[in-house]
Amino acid sequence: MKLMITGGGGFVGSRLARALLARGSLAGERIDRLVLSDIAPPPADLLADARVEARTGALLSQTDALREESFDGVFHLASAVSGECEADFELGLRSNLDSTRALLDALRAQVEAGGKVPRLVFSSSVAVFGPDAAVPMPRVVADATLPAPQTSYGTQKLICEHLVADYTRKGYIDGRAARLMTVTVRPGRPNGAASSFFSGIIREPLAGVESICPVSPDVSHPVSSPQRTVEGLIAVFEASREAFGGRTALNLPALNVRVSEMLDALEQVAGSAVRARVRFERDERIAGIVANWPTGASAARAARLGLLPHDHFADIVRQYIDDCRARPDADQTLKGMR
């Protein structure tokens, strides 16, 4: 089978690619070819795999050519992040909305030309939820909570959920939208996401660097490890339509955790000197965005697919440390741990 991952060079995308290549098959079919589309080339280990083909450039510059090509499956992860979309409205519309529309239309063109209907997993986001004066947000958002996005990023993700649902209804794709929780711990440098600090307050202290937490330690948030997120995307791809249940997006599993609990877990795993590298300094812009995010999420439909969150944030910290040790070539460093 021939698969594509948009955003295949990114944090979640490259991990998903590694997981797929290691499995060798998906939904019972052998993976012969894995196209990784991203604005930056994928990591060297992925490029070294004979099944991998990298396509570097904006997705929107690739979609015309995609009309002439068929895929058995697509994981559509490519996206501008929330902070970028707030800072640059046009960028968000182009990267998140126009790109998705063009991708779906390219897949539709193939089907209209007689090709096989591709299966597609769309990575939506918990950012579709938010409080609105007319619609109070529950403390814990469920699969069927009414979304009321409070950012352009969340709006664009929600719109794409509905495009995926309608292209599916029309038989142009077999689409499934899954809402990712905030994935932590991300390696590398902080990115433009308002949620970037949820990784920074773990990653930087472990690297021996001071980190600033821009929100109160009482802030609670639904998070997930990279590994559980990748497992979730694969399970959603492999689910039958009946098991997925309808065309409405589902929540991936969340560990609902407070910032203070994250830091307790960091201390438990890495020691108090590491935790002491986190300093609280409120950033009104970030805190304002985060205040409109849900403090927790439930994921009943994902649970029925066998997907569960980690029980303890310490497990997520340990997974990050193991990841760093396994890949010392990457810009992931551990310094000054006990």
Which one-letter amino acid corresponds to residue 264? D
Q: Which is nearer to a copy of itself, 110 or 332 (CB)?
A: 110
Question: CB 165 → a copy of itself: shortest distance, Å?
Answer: 7
Chain centroid to Cα 288, Å, comes to 22
Binding string, 160-179, against a copy of itself, x = CB under 8 A?
A: --xx-xx--xx---------
3-class state of residue 5 by DSSP: strand
Q: Which is nearer to a copy of itself, 81 or 278 (CB)?
A: 81
Question: CB 152 → a copy of itself: shortest distance, Å?
Answer: 6
Residues touching a copy of itself: how many (CB under 8 A)?
A: 32
β-strands 278-280, 211-213 pairing = parallel
The only residue of 67, 247, 312, 318 in contact with a copy of itself, by rule CB under 8 A: 247
DSSP annotation of 140 reads: E
The only residue of 246, 282, 288, 333 in contact with a copy of itself, by rule CB under 8 A: 246
The encoded tokens of residue 119 equal 């299966």
Q: Are 96 and 80 in contact (CB under 8 A)?
A: yes
The encoded tokens of residue 286 equal 């970030």
Please give the angle made by the CA atoms of 169, 174 and 178, to the nearest 5 degrees: 100
Active site residue 172: no
The only residue of 155, 211, 225, 295 in contact with a copy of itself, by rule CB under 8 A: 155
Task: Decide if residue 94 touches a copy of itself (CB under 8 A).
Answer: no
β-strands 278-280, 52-56 pairing = unpaired
The window from 27-35, 68-76, 139-147, 193-201 that contacts a copy of itself (CB under 8 A) reads 139-147
Q: Which is nearer to a copy of itself, 285 or 327 (CB)?
A: 285
The DSSP result for 178-200, as a single string, is EEE-EE----SS--S-GGGHHHH
Q: What does each C-alpha distance from 144 to 48, 51, 98, 222, 265 come to in angstroms?
A: 42, 38, 26, 16, 31
The window from 63-71, 157-165, 192-200, 313-321 that contacts a copy of itself (CB under 8 A) reads 157-165
> Which parts of this chain interact with a copy of itself (CB under 8 A)?
89, 93, 101, 108, 132-135, 143-146, 148-150, 152, 155, 158-159, 162-163, 165-166, 169-170, 242, 245-248, 250, 301
Active site residues per annotation: 153
